[in-house]
Amino acid sequence: MSDLDVAVAKTTGEHIAALNWFRDNAGRTVSWPEIQAQAALRTRLVTQAKGIYKPHYMEYALSVRQTLDSPYADKEIQRRPDGSWAYPYFQENRDPLQRDR
């Protein structure tokens, strides 16, 4: 059983639907209209307004969206030998004193 299968088994509702969508679509390039259709039919996966999406029903972020040709210096996913990963994401607003506002 994969780590994602274990996580999915511990959740319900919109969260399980979102995790299943991400699992089923891993490795695909997905168009914005397809993402919007998913939100209209069942579960919102991302928001167009911000790069980090944290649904009201979750304590943590569900997704992080990277925009190509953005002014932010996002990096590639760093995959580790133990199977974990990190995603160096440039937080919005270049001024560190203003970015958390």
pLDDT tens, residue by residue, 68-94: 776 666 678 889 999 888 887 766 666
Strand partners, 52: 64
Q: How many other CB atoms are there within 10 angstroms of residue 56's CB atom?
A: 5
pLDDT band, residue 100 (cuts 50/70/90): low
Total-model pTM: 0.68
Query: Higher model confidence: residue 62 or residue 2?
Result: 62
> Residue 98 has what DSSP assignment?
T
In angstroms, rounded to a whole number, what is the distance separating the alpha carbons of residues 96 and 31? 32
